[in-house]
Structure 1
């Protein structure tokens, strides 16, 4: 099979499985678009929001119950260190930069803004530097596209008041930026305690035709991922679980509230599709 997985220490042993072509992407997100637009790969790591949108538009992929990365995102909403302090509620009527409106980090950030500060997605103009991975998706009217190369450039040029940056971008293009939310780590822990789960960023999907044609190979790859993620820090894990179901339910609800998907996400249906890997 053609397989795309991120470059993590835990995936290196998985990529030694014989009989597969493991394709490397650096950065990884362009692989998500190629998977949902052309089904180019048999198994592919995928951002949660991309998976939810692909499912919403009938893309024939099935979720493998494997979480590759995740974490809280209160620290992902950033500002310039020398800019005037800005409370989350002050974002109403302002412009906020994000790589794509459908980026999963943005999904979680907008969710917490609504839940904890009463800021609706439509209260903000979201300025993006990339289009959605799912070509069929039409962005809402409060989303704008910029020709800036990077999200941090929008912030540094003064085009936006704040910027949403994923975990790797925070330490890269976002170096020197500070969280807009004070005590972001404390707020993140409170979110986890309140919901009983940790936000999920990347999962794994399999092309339905590949699952039909090579179920044993898919099962073997899943078993290798399960072994590789054993003992990892939550939410990284393999196997259907209550925390995964909660993360899918909350992420799906956030996606519907933000007009990322147009129909309610049926977590029970996703679980039925992943039943063969429930243990």
Structure 2
């Protein structure tokens, strides 16, 4: 099958990482495709524009947002690329001067999170249930932003706050703990204390148990673009795969370093299956996810 619109440029929105810069600066060319690389700082508004307006041809996408978009019937297809990932036992935090509490003490309490559909929250609530028996509905989740997918309605145990940032919820004592993503931990979360004292070891144990590393950001393509320009999508994917391989020496052996990858694998399958199960348990999606079907949609990319 040939592309129907081979000369049209592709709009591509990816974050600024060592493994995406080679595409943006042309170090790794995208054969035969004119890519128009767009920027968004911060990134999250671009995710909302993609799922609400289909604003780009190819776009970085959080795991939870993708699962919710698929559940809502939004015409997006997942490309097998992990741009960002890590463990998240360090992501559940409290103020250092507050009483020492553990994850099991959160039942009946209030916990801050940027949005209930934030991917870091998906992974945190997953291990809370598995390791401490704490259900999502056992906690009141206080949010500072709406979810990206407009069709989704938060469950009754989610409350919207007027606070500007999650860290503000902690410091005003509106919540006893907060979920913060990797970037926020080094910013507004500086100095906060994890509720899991051995967070690094707990994260590695999670990896060993599940056979994968939690993926935060992947890549999606609009269905019409995949249908009309499969060769162009294939070229972008292959270039991104090459860029990830070429920059492997820049990543360390931490979970975040090991998470970055391209191509369908047992690890990515396990990651999607685990995230989909968590999302269903947490009322983020309404029906089970057929991960095998997701893989079949782009199996041709690695041929």
User: TM-score interval w.r.t. the shorter chain?
Assistant: over 0.9
Q: CA deviation at 1:264?
A: 0.3
Q: CA deviation at 1:182?
A: 1.0
Distance 1:278 1:108 in 2: 28
- Asked if 1:214 corresponds to 2:238, the answer is no
- Asked if 1:4 corresponds to 2:19, the answer is no
CA deviation vs aligned residue, 1:226-268 (integer Å, no higher than 9, x gap)? 0111235322110000000000000000000000000001101
- TM-score computed with the length of structure 1 as normaliser: 0.98
Q: Which residue of 1 aligns with 2:193?
A: 178
CA deviation vs aligned residue, 1:85-118 (integer Å, no higher than 9, x gap)? 0011100000000000000000000000000000
CA deviation vs aligned residue, 1:145-165 (integer Å, no higher than 9, x gap)? 001000000001100000000
- Asked if 1:264 corresponds to 2:301, the answer is no
- The answer to whether the Cα contact below 8 Å between 1:47 and 1:104 also exists between their aligned partners in 2 is yes
Tell me the secondary structure at the aligned position of residue 50 of structure 1: helix
- Which deviates the most, 226-235 or 269-278? 226-235
Q: Which residue of 2 aligns with 1:68?
A: 83
Q: CA deviation at 1:277?
A: 2.0
Q: Which residue of 1 aligns with 2:132?
A: 117
Structure 2 residues without counterparts, runs of 5 or longer: 1-9, 252-256
- The answer to whether the Cα contact below 8 Å between 1:44 and 1:206 also exists between their aligned partners in 2 is yes
How many pairs align? Answer: 279
Distance 1:209 1:146 in 2: 37
CA deviation vs aligned residue, 1:156-187 (integer Å, no higher than 9, x gap)? 11000000000000001111111111110010
Q: Which residue of 2 aligns with 1:104?
A: 119
- Asked if 1:53 corresponds to 2:53, the answer is no
Tell me the secondary structure at the aligned position of residue 259 of structure 2: coil
Q: CA deviation at 1:217?
A: 1.4
Q: Which residue, 227, 233, 240 being the options, matches 2:264?
A: 240
Q: Which residue of 2 aligns with 1:251?
A: 275
- Which deviates the most, 208-217 or 125-134? 208-217
Q: Which residue of 2 aligns with 1:142?
A: 157
Tell me the secondary structure at the aligned position of residue 100 of structure 2: coil
Higher Cα Rg, which structure: 2
- The answer to whether the Cα contact below 8 Å between 1:96 and 1:160 also exists between their aligned partners in 2 is yes
- Asked if 1:26 corresponds to 2:35, the answer is no
Distance 2:298 2:164 in 1: 38
Tell me the secondary structure at the aligned position of residue 152 of structure 2: coil
Q: Which residue of 2 aligns with 1:223?
A: 238
- The answer to whether the Cα contact below 8 Å between 1:240 and 1:277 also exists between their aligned partners in 2 is no
Q: CA deviation at 1:276?
A: 1.2
Q: Which residue of 2 aligns with 1:88?
A: 103
- Which deviates the most, 177-186 or 42-51? 177-186
Distance 1:89 1:274 in 2: 41
Distance 2:241 2:180 in 1: 29
Tell me the secondary structure at the aligned position of residue 182 of structure 1: coil
- TM-score computed with the length of structure 2 as normaliser: 0.90
